[in-house]
Each structure stands twice: as structure tokens, then as C-alpha cells.
Structure 1
Amino acid sequence: MKLQFTDRAIEKLESEQKGYFKLNYDIEDCGCVVNGVTQLVLDSEVGDYDLELETNFRPVRVQKQYAVFFDEDMKVDFLPKYHCFMLKSDNEILNPRMRYINRIS
């Protein structure tokens, strides 16, 4: 899997010097695993995120069991108007307003 960050997304995230980026597939209170929501997380520990995505910025990890919910080639963009990120691919918009969570600061 590949993940490309746009220039706007890199500009927003480049000040984050420490930690590990993760694409977290949150299923808590979603009722079913297929109703999960993707979040971009900066964490101090790798945890059980066992797949590392190829990126043009910094490594991003994903939990292997949720890889099926992602596309092979994805892009992260930052939307200044909404102060959030977007996760998309050529096939679909995976999360139009993806939340960014910094668990370090």
C-alpha cells in the first residue's frame, strides 16, 4: 500500500518531529467493523500497527486486520477551510473530514 501526502498536508504536519504516524481504523461505537472511521494519529509508541505504508513524507502504520478497508494507492490532503484532513484514492473518498489526533502533546 502507498500513501501520498499533498504539499498542504505535509506543511501542516511537518512540525511534528517526534512519534509515529498511524492510520487508525476506529470501530468503537460504530456497531459493525465495516462502519469504522479512519483517523490520522501521532503516537509515541508503535503499538500493534504491523504494516508500514510507503509514503512521500514519513512512515505511516496500519493494523494488518484493517488493511482490507484501505485502497492500494491513497492520498492525504489538508482542507484549510474545514481545518481537517481528507483521505482519498482514485476510487473513492475514504474519509472526507479525517480527524487528526496528537497523542503526544
Structure 2
Amino acid sequence: MDVGRYTVDLGACTIARIDGTAPGAVHLTPTEWRLLTLLLRNPERLIPSRELLAEVWDTDHVTHTNYLRVFMAGLRRKLEPDPSNPRHLITEPGLRYRFQP
């Protein structure tokens, strides 16, 4: 699946530039992989922060929305061409997130 200028292979847990240069140049933490996987497997679906928190961390963390802000910012820095104006990893008003292919 393409995210910005990268191709993400969820099965192999790899990220490569679409043009084929610098394979493996993007390294994600295990938590970033879990978050990205959930978003990519649900393209265009608005996912509430509580659902993401429960799936990526656990149900004890559903009120810790700051976790999502930090990890989404990290994913955007690593994958979006312009992290301050994301095109693929979107935050919607009301603390919902979605992946826009």
C-alpha cells in the first residue's frame, strides 16, 4: 500500500521508497507498526481514538489520547511528504483518525 512516496508491505513489515531507492530507510517502532497497520487495513474509515488506543495499547489506555498525538506525529514525520499538512494520515475533529490512500 502506498503512503506518500513510500510503499508499505504490512506482511513483511517493510517500507521502501516508491522509486526503489533507500529500501529500509524508514524504521518504525513496534507501536508505530501496530498503529499504521490498523489504519492501513481500514482505508478511509474514521476510527475513534478509543478504538485505536484499545487495539494498539489496551483497554486500560482508552483515555490517553496524548499517546495517539505523539505516535501519529511520528508516523507523519516519517511517511508524509509534508507532515504539517498530511494527505494520508489524517486527524478528524473529535479525535478520530483515518488513512486516506
User: What TM-score, normalized to structure 1?
Assistant: 0.25
Output the TM-score relative to the length of structure 2. 0.26
Greater share of residues in strand: 1
Q: Which protein is richer in helix relative to its size? A: 2
